[in-house]
Structure 1
């Protein structure tokens, strides 16, 4: 039963954290997207209040809010 216990423990541990992937305590409210280039920039990586321009094409990016409790801005 050692192998089954190990697999169960790993699967259980992978579902316990609601902040998977968050390295910092900063909370993202969403992300800026370029619809033409499919480029995404998290809001906490942007300085100021104005939407950034796409680094690939230069077009204005749109802001999309996080769906809420998942902690993901995707």
Structure 2
């Protein structure tokens, strides 16, 4: 029975984390994406309010954020 309790505690701990998925608590709200090039730049890595241009093709990138409250962008 101890083995079952260990498994239960492990699974419970993995779903209770409010900061899963690499949110890192750094204030990130999402990322800028170039869907043609599959390029991604996190919003906290961009200076200013203007969307950056894709480093590969030069087209303005689109901001997207996850509606998830857990920080998971799945």
TM-score of the two chains, using structure 2 as the length reference: 0.76
Residue number in structure 2 paired with 1:22: 23
The answer to whether the 8 Å contact 1:51/1:60 transfers is yes
Distance in 2 of aligned mates of 1:64 and 1:22: 14
Q: Give the paired residue count.
A: 73
Q: Which runs of 5+ in 2 are unaligned?
A: none
The answer to whether the 8 Å contact 2:51/2:61 transfers is yes
Deviations 1:33-65 (A, max 9, x none): 101012221111111111111122222111123
Note the aligned Cα RMSD (angstroms): 2.0
Q: Secondary structure at the match of 1:15?
A: helix
User: How big is the shift at 1:19?
Assistant: 0.9
The answer to whether the 8 Å contact 2:17/2:70 transfers is no
Distance in 2 of aligned mates of 1:62 and 1:14: 32
Distance in 1 of aligned mates of 2:13 and 2:68: 22
Residue number in structure 1 paired with 2:42: 42
Q: Which runs of 5+ in 1 are unaligned?
A: none
